[in-house]
Chains A and B, each alone.
Chain A
Amino acid sequence: MRKGLRVIAPLLPAAFAIGASFGVLARASHFSAVAAVVMSATTFAGSSQVAAASILGAGGGIAAAVLAALLLNLRYTPMGVTVAQSFHGLPVWRRLAEAQLLVDESWALAGGGTRRFDRRMMLAMGAAMWFAWVGGTAAGALLGSVVSDVSSFGLDGAFAALFLALLAAQVTNRRALAAAVLGAAIAAVLTPLTPPGVPIIAATAAVLVGWKRA
């Protein structure tokens, strides 16, 4: 537990800061402060929350925002499956609750995907990340009440850069790079043709490049 907190500590200011960015973006996308904080507390997955807020903010529909967010969170299912063994013997309600503390960082740093996965360490790290994330969102949502438009202070450019940084972290091999390039191309082609949000969903068709070689 102590070890988990020590390992995760350097990441907490970043989680707070990105949570705050989400809070500001959510306010500029017409979320109430309470809705922003509730989303961080329940969804607790950065890129999906930022995606949903930016799609709603750009005038996209509910279906596009939800679908994009859930597609981004699909990765939690295979991540959860790789660590399922360590939940063996616990009551269902505890497994359900503890599974919510799975985030990219807590999963990876606790040894997710390896035989050495440490569930207690994941829980300590996930809980610390949760407080930083929700606290950051609350701070950003309060600060964001002075922001009326995403173009204020270059926030729109800040979020483009945020997505680029999140993308860079996920492009770890050539297939991921191919999917990213094709996804970008699909989005560019469809933007003039379809309502906001649809190009994002359609970009998932890019994973089919990996179908033959997978």
Chain B
Amino acid sequence: MARTMFDKIWDAHIVDEGEGKPTTLYVDLHLVHEVTSPQAFEGLRLAGRQVRRPELTVATVDHNVPTTDRSLPIADDISRRQIEALDTNARDFGIQYFDMFSASQGIVHVIGPEQGYTQPGKVIVCGDSHTSTHGAFGAFALGIGTSEVEHVLATQCLVQEKPKNMEIRVNGDLPFGVAAKDLILAIIGQIGVGGGVGHVIEYTGEAIQQLSMAGRMTVCNMSIEAGARAGMIAPDETTFEYMRGRPQVPQGDLFDEAIENWRLLASDPGAHFDTVIEIDASKLEPFVSWGTNPGMVTSITGKVPDPEKIQDASEKAAAQRALNYMQLEPNTPISEIMLDKVFIGSCTNSRIEDLRAAAEVVRGKTVDGRVSAMVVPGSFAIKIKAEQEGLDTIFMEAGFEWREAGCSMCLGMNPDILQPGERSASTSNRNFEGRQGPGGRTHLVSPEMAAAAAISGHFVDIREWE
């Protein structure tokens, strides 16, 4: 029977299944960070359990770490305690660990692919919803809760009901100035923040095939913002070229053999998808979120919506609440929204390609006097590469701050936050109330759009940038 890529990966990992119970799946790679793991390790200790496959478990610190000088002590005691807890747990349980000073440290969803741990066909889990990022390589990668983290540590298995298959086919080419971020914001705007619940999305079509791995990771990363269990893209030459030679991938002939197997993962012709959605890439524009969830988006040429014109009562109430929180008037042109901060970073958009695209926009220009702007590379390795290419100089000469790697202002667990009432253009993934700091107001955009907004002090159409 014709199977989807997701079906094939699922089937290949079944340890146990049966009537009236969920499937027990084997996990190939378990990524761990400091926020969602301490209680799981504590659970193991209390039950006298070990980590079953420490060599399949990779940990790093990303959420809490300072992006400023790391030779200084961490000011926040509780953050420091959480980081120290992972230091201890990684040592006690013998798992691979990239600490705050490691040359391989970075956001867990950036370093997995970068180091080559992320590979096609794998089942990958992490106590983090943006684990969906790794699906860009044709892996089944999903976020889990802390109890499940403990379960995977103890058993290397995950107990799950099988989600349904959804295909999002993106036909045509993305126009000039329209980035992968715009594409995924458009998709979430169309299907809604609950549109993917209970499904694994496979993204297909010309526009997806033409994306770089960085772009594919951006798309898969935000699958969770549409409520999906995971996002996936079939591995192809772009995938293999990205992977070749990375530390954890097979080397030499073994790599070529692996490629032959990875090619077989693609969905069979005629495989059944429970839902199919088609998008015309050529009609898309740069997007900006106006509200308090990632489905509340419009194009840069659009206006803040008028809740009075929304028919559905609960949608209307949600839009009113969102505009009240965002302090935006209905019908305001998006390009007139003034900004206080610009954040370029996060597991959605902090890769070298993202930084290059943003640097190209700011080269030779100066950040608007009312704006404070920062760039936070996704990993230490990206930071070094960017510095070799001179991107740090471009950013700093324009007035951006250039920081150490981590999650930073995406969720403000470290000191990088919005102050109450401040408004940001952010390349991150969530514009929830207070996400970037209590009372902060977030607009989600692509790196190019964020860079242009930093220079202009308000949103501008990147397609008209000179």
- Do these two chains interact? no
A interface residues with partner B (beta carbon < 8 Å)? none
B: which residues have CB within 8 A of A?
Answer: none
